[in-house]
Amino acid sequence: LSEFPVDRIRNFCIIAHIDHGKSTLADRLLEMTGAIAKTDKNKQVLDKLQVERERGITVKAQTASLFYTHHGQQHLLNLIDTPGHVDFSYEVSRSISACQGVLLLVDANQGIQAQTVANFYLAFEAQLTIIPVINKIDLKNADPERVESQIENVFDIPREDCIRISAKLGTNVENVLQAVVERIPPPTAIVHDPFKALVFDSNFDHYRGIVANIAVFAGHVKKGDKIVSAHLGKAYEVNELGLLCPQEHPTQKLFAGQVGYLIAGMKEVKEAQIGDTLYHQDQPVEALPGFKPAKAMVFAGMYPVDQSEYPGLRSAIERLTLNDSSVTVQRDSSLALGAGWRLGFLGLLHMEVFNQRLEQEYNASVIITAPTVPYKAVLSSAKLIKNRRGIQNNMMYVDDHRVMMKYLFPLNEIVMDFYDLLKSLSSGYASFDYENAGYQAADLIKMDILLNGRPVEELTTIVHRARAYSTGKAICERLKDSIPRQMFEIAVQASIGSKIIARETIKAYRKNVLAKCYGGDITRKMKLLKKQAEGKKKMRRIGNVEVPKDVFINVLKRKEN
């Protein structure tokens, strides 16, 4: 690929509420531009991570360069697929910074939802061209008329701008490609200026070191060039670069306006900061503004199951945070668990996904403590919504049937399971998004959970005084259900200071794994014992009690009717 005329380049992403069909539309766009073969097996091709495939959600933004001929002229369209879940909105804002336009995708049946609004404002504030696309018009209950009215009401975009499609069947998807070329402006990149690129994503490859995804804002870069990263001022030689189609496609050069990948002998995670600027060694440029650091909302301790695994886990966490820079990491240590880290996440799903990626991509086994939210402490010594200490702030009608309400909530009330509950109470109709509203004074106390008298650090929580008894009781009951019976009786207690406020008992029981091996087959015996020992690795010892490690998260999820 030689230099591509900048006026025939378009950088865009698809933004939408979760499940409105971004990844499916991306599949169709890839097929129609020949980036991937057209088969019925193309399902969410850009969702490459194992966790994405298992959960059916997009976690990481992915990039693909597509070639599309419009009025006889070849255009280069750089598509960035973005995640829809509220916990991953940081990825959305990063993607947007490399684009000039967005496809705002709305489900023809569900209409505008919480993340549709949040993502719209991200794009709107960045002054991008917004193309409204109404998806799933093939559904029996599709009501594109109504969704167009919502788009007019809420976003002030004329209904004539909307494109009605079915990403699943491919209906009208060609019109989307045309609109991308016709409505979105090309990047304002200048090919003759000195090279300047934004690192908008990076990941660690076991064989090649750090692979940075870059958007070239000016000039060009080629193999063998000496480049500098503005953040550390360190120089590197470019070993490889190319386009993402969506597979890596090595090229000789990358030019202004293009988006691609670059490998330049960066070995350490801190060398490829997301938001960093790259330039030629002999032609320094002013660094780009970079990104606002993501604000962690949920914190949890993370420890190796065995302290000997500490160094391995440290490098796994470092490499994974390179690919997910919204996670904050601080070293921490605990009497019971040894050396570890305190990690900050954007939400609970984010934390679970991070944990799963550590296990799947880095083969790491970790103990994660119960998540907490930040509190500011002063030391001296209605439904669902009323239950969660919510205060209504404002309300706006999206159309006759839908209302958007804003509430002020204590973060700890919504972090664990509010989203799941809201969904089930409203049969899936309600949707939810949040932003930080600052600290507020509240009557909070510290509650400990004890197993046979030993406090379980990971389950210590801060609760509202009025809710201490019911929460303590519920946690004890859930612990009783989730801790397997052991050879002795276990007392499960909740306490405030020295006062016990709830108690459950787990009866004794002996699990003899050898019971089924009648005779003396020693290898079989060893196998079973080894299996049991491996099972125990997933356990954490508190005093003499073995606790399965997933208990720590599950126990704190509330179940309300």
Ligand X SMILES: Nc1nc2c(ncn2[C@@H]2O[C@H](COP(=O)(O)OP(=O)(O)OP(=O)(O)O)[C@@H](O)[C@H]2O)c(=O)[nH]1
List contacts with ligand X (CB under 6 A): 16, 18-24, 44, 57-58, 83-84, 135-136, 138-139, 166-168
- Pairing label, strands 298-304, 338-345: antiparallel
Known binder of ligand: residue 111?
no
Known binder of ligand: residue 22?
yes
Q: Tell me how far, at minimum, the Cβ of 51 lies from ligand X, in Å.
A: 12
Q: Tell me how far, at minimum, the Cβ of 28 lies from ligand X, in Å.
A: 9
Strands (E), 281-422: 298-304, 328-334, 338-345, 366-368, 391-399, 402-408
Judged by CB, which is closer to ligand X: 103, or 475?
103
Known binder of ligand: residue 233?
no
Residue with tokens 């979760």: 18
Known binder of ligand: residue 137?
yes
Known binder of ligand: residue 165?
no
Q: Tell me how far, at minimum, the Cβ of 148 lies from ligand X, in Å.
A: 16
Q: What are phi and psi of 46, to 5 degrees?
A: -80, -10
Known binder of ligand: residue 43?
no
- Give the amino acid at 338: G
Look at residues 85, 116, 555, 95 and name the one whose alpha carbon lies nearest to residue 350: 85
Known binder of ligand: residue 166?
no
Q: Tell me how far, at minimum, the Cβ of 550 lies from ligand X, in Å.
A: 23
Q: Tell me how far, at minimum, the Cβ of 315 lies from ligand X, in Å.
A: 29
Judged by CB, which is closer to ligand X: 116, or 493?
116
Residue closest to ligand X, measured at CB: 84
Known binder of ligand: residue 17?
yes
DSSP 3-state percent helix, strand, coil across the chain (nearest 5) = 30, 30, 40
Q: Tell me how far, at minimum, the Cβ of 429 lies from ligand X, in Å.
A: 16
CA distances 465 to 156, 416, 442, 496, Å, are 45, 19, 9, 10
Judged by CB, which is closer to ligand X: 373, or 430?
430
CA–CA distance, 423 with 286 (Å, rounded to integer): 47
CA–CA distance, 131 with 198 (Å, rounded to integer): 25
Cβ atoms < 10 Å from Cβ of 361: 17
Q: Tell me how far, at minimum, the Cβ of 52 lies from ligand X, in Å.
A: 8
What would the DSSP string read from start to end of 270-308? GGG-TT-EEEETTS--PPP---PPP---EEEEEEESSGG
Judged by CB, which is closer to ligand X: 83, or 242?
83
Judged by CB, which is closer to ligand X: 89, or 273?
89
Task: Show the tokens assigned to 493.
Answer: 């207690």
- Pairing label, strands 226-229, 234-237: antiparallel
Distant-in-sequence, close-in-space partners of 498: CB < 8 Å, separation ≥ 6: none
CA–CA distance, 215 with 243 (Å, rounded to integer): 11
Known binder of ligand: residue 138?
yes
Annotated binding site: 16-23, 81-85, 135-138
Annotated binding site for GTP: 16-23, 81-85, 135-138
